Structure 1
C-alpha cells in the first residue's frame, strides 16, 4: 500500500518541496532555534524565531500534560481503513502549536492513520486550493484522505470558539498582539477541551459516512 497515495492526489500536478513526519517537523524546529544566528536574520525572521521558541514550550507542555479523552479515543479506534492526515503549517504558527499536538497524539491510537506535514510558505502554489483566499491562508489546516486519495475532512485553523473570540476582538479594535495574547490565554485555560469536542463531532460524522 502507498501510504502517501492521498497526498499524491491532493497535490496533483503541483510540485512540493518536502513532506515531514511530526517527529521530523519537531526536530527541524528545534534545530532552527538552536542554530539560528540572530545577526544574520531580518527583523521578521527574528520575530518568527521568538514565536518558534514560545511554540516549542507550548507543544512540550501539551505533550507532558496530555490526558486522552476516552470518547475521542473510541472514535479514532473505529477507523478500520488507512487514512492520511496532511497538516499544513509553519513552526512559528501559534495556533499550530496549540492544536496539532492533540491530533498527532490521538492519531497514535490507530496505526492506520498516517500523519504528514507540509510547510505552507514554501509550497504556496501546491496548497492554495485549500485556502479561501491568497490573502487569508490561515494555518494550521488539516486535510484527511482515505486510502484512495479521496478527501474525508478538512479542519482548521482553530476551534470555532477560539475563532469567534478572535473575530470579536478584531471587531472591538484590538491589535494583533493584544488579541493573540488573549487567544493564547484562552488556549492555556481550555487545555484542548474545546478541540476534543470538535474532534468528537468531526469523527462521529466521518464514521457515519465511511462505515
Structure 2
C-alpha cells in the first residue's frame, strides 16, 4: 500500500479544492431538488433535514461579537472543514463557522466532503474514527496546523458517549435527544469552543 502524502500536501490539495459555504449550501440544496448526493436513502433523508436546519440557523444564529472581536489573525488563516451533507452535527456547526469567517479578518472557510478526501480525514481522526465535522485551523500559506475541533461540543459528546455505552438506547432516540440539546443550546457551546480554538491558534 502506498504511503499517504505528507499532511501539508494533503492540506494544500484540500485548500485548493475546498468549497465556500455558499457553494456547499448550493450543493446540498441542488441534491434535494435534483440528482441526490447519496445513494442511501437514509443519508439523503438526513441531508434534507440538515438543509432545513442550516437554512434556519443562517437566519437565527447570533455571533458573540465581543468574543469574536478578540480573535485577531495577522496572517491569512484557513478554516478547513471535513463533513458530509447527512451529518447532523455539521448542520449546527457550519452556519456558526461561516459567521466566524465573515466576522474575523484573515480567516477563510473551506469545506470538503469527507469521503472524497479519505487521506486527509485519516490524518485527523478522533479516537481512531473518521468523525465529522472535523475542523482544521492552519496557516493558509505555510499550512502549519494551529488547531482542530470536532466532531461536536463537549455536552453533545456526552450524549453520544451515553448512547454508545447503553445498548438499550436506540439510534432514533439518541438522535432525538441530541437535536433537542442543540435546539436548547442555540449554538452557545459550539461558539464558545470554536472561539477558544481560534483564540489559541491566533496567539
Q: Same fold (TM over 0.5)?
A: yes
Shift of 1:115: 1.2
Q: Which moved more, 1:51-60 or 1:28-37?
A: 28-37
1:113-164 CA-partner distances (Å, limit 9, x unpaired): 1111111112213431111466x21100010111321001000000011101
- Rounded to whole Å, the distance in 2 between the matches of 1:32 and 1:71 is 37
Aligned residues: 194
- 1:86-105 to 2 correspondences below 5 Å: 86-105=80-99
Match of 2:134 in 1: 141
Q: Does the C-alpha gap of structure 1 residues 80 and 47 become closer, same or farther in structure 2, counting only changes over 3 Å? A: same
Q: Which moved more, 1:124-133 or 1:22-31?
A: 124-133
Q: Tell me, yes or no, if the aligned pair for 1:87 and 1:116 is still in contact at 8 Å.
A: yes
Identify the match of residue 170 of structure 2 among 175, 178, 183: 175
- Rounded to whole Å, the distance in 1 between the matches of 2:11 and 2:198 is 26
RMSD over equivalenced CA pairs, Å: 2.4
Which structure exhibits the higher relative contact order, with contacts defined as CA atoms closer than 8 Å and separated by 6 or more residues?
1
Shift of 1:172: 2.7
- 1:10-159 to 2 correspondences below 5 Å: 10-11=9-10, 18-36=17-35, 42=39, 45-76=40-71, 78-132=72-126, 136-146=129-139, 147-159=141-153
Q: Which moved more, 1:100-109 or 1:64-73?
A: 64-73
- Rounded to whole Å, the distance in 1 between the matches of 2:17 and 2:194 is 27
Greater than 4 Å deviation, 4+ residue runs: 12-17
TM-score by length of 2: 0.86
TM-score by length of 1: 0.83
Q: Tell me, yes or no, if the aligned pair for 2:68 and 2:103 is still in contact at 8 Å.
A: yes
Structure 1 unpaired stretches of 5+: 1-7
